[in-house]
A and B are shown apart, each in its own frame.
Chain A
Amino acid sequence: MPGQAEGPAMVTRMPVNFTAAVSNIKNAIPGRKGVINDRLHDLYGRDMKGTVMVFPACIGSTFTGMVLLELMRGGYAPAALVVQAADPLLVSGAVLAEVWFKAGVPVVEYPADDLFEAVKDGDRVSVDGATGEIRIG
C-alpha cells in the first residue's frame, strides 16, 4: 500500500488480532482508541498511534478491516504497518480508509525472517509503501 511515513517502531513477534486489540470498553475512553487491549497479547497496554508497527501477521476476525478503517480515519492508527505476510483483512482496512476517506496508511510486506533481527522496539523507522523500502534510524 503506497505512502510514506515514519515513527518509533513497535515490534512484536506475536501475530496481532486487531479486533481483539481495540474492541474493549477501555478503547472508548477519549484518546485511548489506539491502545491495544488484547489481554492475551504481549503488546497489551501499548498505544499504536503514530508508531511503525512491525509484526508477523494479522489474525482473527473479519471485523478487522473496519476496525483498521476506523482507526485510520480517526487518526489513532499506526503511522505505518510492516508485516511479514500481508493478508486481506489488513489490506482491506488500508484500502477502505484510502478510497473512502483518503486516510490510508502505508503497508509494507517484508516476508523474510531477518525482519525481527533488523528492527527493534523503539527504533526510529521510516517506510515507503510504494517501493517497500524500510529505513532504520
Chain B
Amino acid sequence: MEPKMKLDPVQEAMLRGEAGEGVAMAMKTLVSYGEAFGAARLLPIKSAHLSGTFGALTYKAYYLILERLVKAGAKVKVKTTCNPTSGHDLNFLNRHLTFSRQEELDGRLAALGVTPNYSCVCYEGANVPEKGDVLAWAESSAVQFANSAIGARTNRNSILTDICSAITGYTPEFGYLLDENRRARLLVKLDVKKMDPPALGFLLGQRVVNQVPVIEHYPFSRIELKNMGGAMAAAGAVALFHVEGLTPEAPDLKTVCDGEPEKTITITQADLDGLRANNITPDLVVFGCPQMTYEEAKATLELFGGKRSRVPAWFCMIPADRERFIRDGLADKAAAAGITVQKLCPLAALTVQLKRKTVLTPSGKLYYYLQGANYGNAEDCLAACGV
C-alpha cells in the first residue's frame, strides 16, 4: 500500500514485514487510522495503556487478532499497563459465561509483555507520565487524566489500536498531540455552593460532548480531578479539560484559551443536585470507579466512623493499593464496616446479573453505564449505608 503519511525508514521496514507479520499488521492499522485524520507522520510513544482486559465471551474478533499477534511473536516495545480485571471470579455466571475467556485473555496479554497492573488508574504508580510525553493510552478516564491533570499528550485510543501502538512503539500525530487542539474553546462558570466533582463531570460530558473546556478556578484535589474526569469521558467524549490556575496547561484563562473562549456555560447547584437519586433503597453501594487509591479508600473508610453499613458496600481499588490496604489491616476494618475491598472493575462485574441489583454510587461514570445504577454524592451514599 502506498501510504499518504510520511514514514521513516524504520517504520517502512515494519510495514513491509521486516519485524514480523504482527508488527506489519499493527503498522498497517496505525497508518490507515492516522491517515483518516490527516496525520502527517507517526510519533514515538513513551508508554501505552490497554483497555481490553475483560475476557468477555462476545469479543471474538479481539481474541482472533490477539492470537495472530502472539503467534507472530509480537511484544510490546514500551511500558504497557492494562485495565482492571472483570470480576470473572465473582460468581458462576461471570466465570462460566460472561467472562469465560478471561484466563485465555490474561495469558495473551502476558505473552505480549504487558505489565499486569490491572488498573484503570495506571497513573498512580504503575505508569506515570510527565508533562509533554506522547502516549498511546486507551481507557477514557486514564486518557483524561494524562491529558488534563498531567499535561501529557494522548488521543482516545481504542482497544486494539492501543495494542498496535504498544507493539510498534508509535502513534499517529493528530488530535490532542497537536498544540492547536489542546486549547480551551469553552469556559465553564460555576454557580455552586457545594461542589460535587463526579456530577460536574457527568454534566460537562453531556454538554461539552467533544470539545475542550476550561473550568473556572476551583481547588479540585488530584482525586477529585480523577473522579470528575472519569465521568466526563463516559458521559461525553471529552479527552482533555483544563481548570484555570490548577492544571498544567492553564495558568490563566488567556493562555489556555489562546485569547477568548468561544462559548461560556454555567453549571448551577440545581444542575448538580438534579443528578442525585431520591429515596433509593440500594442493594449495594459501590465506591471506586475509577478505582480508588490507598489514601482515598482510607479517607472514605474513616467517614464510616467505625460503624457497620446496613447495606453491603464495595471499595474498588487499584490492586497494588489494595494489597497495601490489606497488609495494613485496613481491609479487616473495612470488612467490619460491611465493606468488601475489590480489585475488579465494578462495571464489568455487575453488567450481567441474574437479578438486577439496585446500585447507589458516587461515580458519575458507573452511573452512566450501569443499568440499575443511581447517583448519589458522598453524603448520600454514606446516608444510604446508615453511617
Query: Which one, B137-145, B212-220, B248-256, B330-338, is touching chain A?
Result: B137-145
For residues 163 through 192 of chain B, which have their beta carbon under 8 Å from a beta carbon of chain A?
A: 175
Whether B235 sits at the interface, judged by CB under 8 Å, is yes
A61-B51 contact given A24-B371, A95-B32, CB 8 Å threshold: yes
For residues 1 through 46 of chain B, which have their beta carbon under 8 Å from a beta carbon of chain A?
A: 25, 28-29, 32-33, 36-37
Q: How many Å lie between the Cα of A65 and that of B33 in the bound state? A: 11
Which residues in A have their C-beta under 8 angstroms from that of B234? 17, 60-61
User: Among A23, A73, A96, A107, which residue has its beta carbon within 8 angstroms of that of B161?
Assistant: A96
Which residues in A have their C-beta under 8 angstroms from that of B160? 65-66, 69, 92, 96
- Please, which residue of chain B has its CB at the minimum distance from the CB of A56? B209
Q: How many Å lie between the Cα of A62 and that of B28 in the bound state? A: 20
Q: How many Å lie between the Cα of A60 and that of B86 in the bound state? A: 18
Distance to closest chain B CB from A73 (angstroms): 5
A100-B161 contact given A66-B59, A95-B36, CB 8 Å threshold: no
CB-based contact B369/A87 at 8 Å: no
- Please, which residue of chain A has its CB at the minimum distance from the CB of B205? A59
Whether A15 sits at the interface, judged by CB under 8 Å, is yes
Whether A134 sits at the interface, judged by CB under 8 Å, is no
CB-based contact A100/B61 at 8 Å: yes
Which residues in A have their C-beta under 8 angstroms from that of B143? 62
Whether B157 sits at the interface, judged by CB under 8 Å, is yes
CB-based contact B157/A92 at 8 Å: yes
Whether B65 sits at the interface, judged by CB under 8 Å, is yes
A87-B210 contact given A59-B235, A62-B158, A92-B158, CB 8 Å threshold: yes
Distance to closest chain A CB from B210 (angstroms): 5
User: Among B62, B155, B351, which residue has its beta carbon within 8 angstroms of that of A88?
Assistant: B155
Distance to closest chain B CB from A51 (angstroms): 21
Contact with A along B336-357 (1 / 0, CB 8 A): 0000000000000001100000
Whether A93 sits at the interface, judged by CB under 8 Å, is yes
CB-based contact A69/B61 at 8 Å: yes
Which residues in B have their C-beta under 8 angstroms from that of A85? 210
CB-based contact A59/B237 at 8 Å: yes
CB-based contact A70/B156 at 8 Å: no
Contact with B along A20-52 (1 / 0, CB 8 A): 100111011000000000011000000000000
CB-based contact B210/A62 at 8 Å: no
CB-based contact B36/A60 at 8 Å: no
Whether B162 sits at the interface, judged by CB under 8 Å, is yes
Distance to closest chain B CB from A98 (angstroms): 7
Interface centre among A40, A66, A85, A100 (most CB of B within 10 A): A66
CB-based contact A65/B161 at 8 Å: yes
CB-based contact A62/B156 at 8 Å: yes
Whether B60 sits at the interface, judged by CB under 8 Å, is yes
For residues 55 through 76 of chain A, which have their beta carbon under 8 Å from a beta carbon of chain B?
A: 56-66, 69-70, 73-74
Q: How many Å lie between the Cα of A23 and that of B209 in the bound state? A: 21
CB-based contact A65/B371 at 8 Å: no
CB-based contact A88/B37 at 8 Å: yes
- Please, which residue of chain A has its CB at the minimum distance from the CB of B175? A88
23 contacts between A and B (CB under 8 A): A1-B36, A15-B236, A23-B351, A24-B351, A56-B209, A59-B210, A60-B236, A62-B139, A62-B158, A66-B59, A66-B61, A69-B61, A88-B156, A88-B175, A89-B237, A91-B33, A95-B33, A96-B158, A96-B160, A97-B61, A98-B32, A99-B32, A100-B29
